[in-house]
Chains A and B, each alone.
Chain A
Amino acid sequence: MIQLTRKIEFSASHFYHNPEFSPEENRHVFGKCNNPHGHGHNYSLEVTVAGEPDPATGMVLDLKELKEILEQEVMQRMDHRHLNYEVPELAGQIPTCENIARVIWNLLEPKITQGKLHRVRLYESADLFADCYRNGAKSA
């Protein structure tokens, strides 16, 4: 089994706010991230696909194809966007690293047909990231 990783970067803005919390609770739980004007990050995304190399091509999957999937599913949706307002898949969710990574996993997983999506790692900064792996709980 070989694991292949492709990295992309995108920039986006967000803020954290739960309308069911009081203003004080929002400030207490989310701190600086509660600023309603929003703030931004340079996100770095590592997508790892696992599989056996095709004997004919020596590739687990064609990197051009992966690049195209990442462009369609991630860059066009999220790059230079406000994650609270412009990404329907995140509607009603706090756009934390955990939730964005899960949305990206769910977007990519059905699109990757050669090999299997193994891990999505989303860095919000060099010191903070979320990982998604396949072996999650099954849900209907």
Chain B
Amino acid sequence: MTSEPKIELGRRYRFAASHRLHTSRLTEDENCRVYGKCNNPFGHGHNYMVEVSVSGKVDPATGMIANLADLDNFVHREVIDPFDHRYLNEEVAAFRETVPTTENLCVEIFERLKMFPHAKLERVRIEETGKNSFEYSGNDAVGDRELLNSEGNKP
């Protein structure tokens, strides 16, 4: 009896976007205190790195869990094209009502990618900068959270 390993395919993508961390649940002073520099009303930007991990059976005919061209096209259509060189607060509908923290970005991107038809989405990990990274694996016991809007309610 041998145990075959579980195999995941990981792929990294990049986009650059601006955002502002601000919530109408808090006063101006509180926003300033909680979000600090990130509350600057003019916004600021990051080079985001999005790491997407998918799992599934390795097709013996191709040696692949999923064809990279299919994965790349899907991620570009669902995430990179609508996010790259955008102001997230205004130009991505989900963030009109939701603070675009990287935690919330992980959830939004996971929700967009979980419909990938050729493999199971395991995880989305985002580096906002080289020093901060965030991961979300969907509605499991640990990560069972939904986007909260700026009023603190589920949209």
Contact = CB atoms under 8 A, between A and B. Distances in A.
Interface residues of B, number: 24
Contacts, number: 89
Nearest to B123: A131
Residue of B2, B5, B13, B64 with highest tally of chain A CB at under 10 A = B5
B92 interface: no
B65 interface: yes
Interface in B1-35: 1-13
Interface stretch (A3-11, A47-55, A62-70, A99-107): A99-107
Given A127-B11, A130-B9, A133-B8, A102 B58 contact: yes
Interface in A94-140: 94-99, 101-102, 105-106, 109, 120-121, 126-140
B4 A102 contact: yes
A99 B63 contact: yes
B64 A98 contact: yes
B7 to A, nearest CB: 5
A97 B63 CA distance: 8
A138 B6 contact: no
Nearest to A30: B62
A94 B68 CA distance: 14
A99 B58 contact: yes
Tell me the dominant secondary structure on chain A's binding face.
mixed
A31 B65 contact: no
Contact of A133 (B5, B11, B60, B62): B5
Contacts of A109: 5
Nearest to A121: B10
Contacts of B7: 98, 101-102, 130-132, 136
Given A128-B68, A138-B1, A18 B8 contact: no
B1 A140 contact: yes
B8 A139 contact: no
18 contacts: A16-B63, A31-B69, A96-B58, A96-B62, A96-B64, A98-B9, A98-B58, A98-B63, A102-B7, A109-B5, A127-B11, A128-B68, A131-B8, A131-B10, A134-B5, A134-B6, A138-B3, A138-B4
Interface of A: 16, 18, 20-21, 29-31, 93-99, 101-102, 105-106, 109, 120-121, 126-140
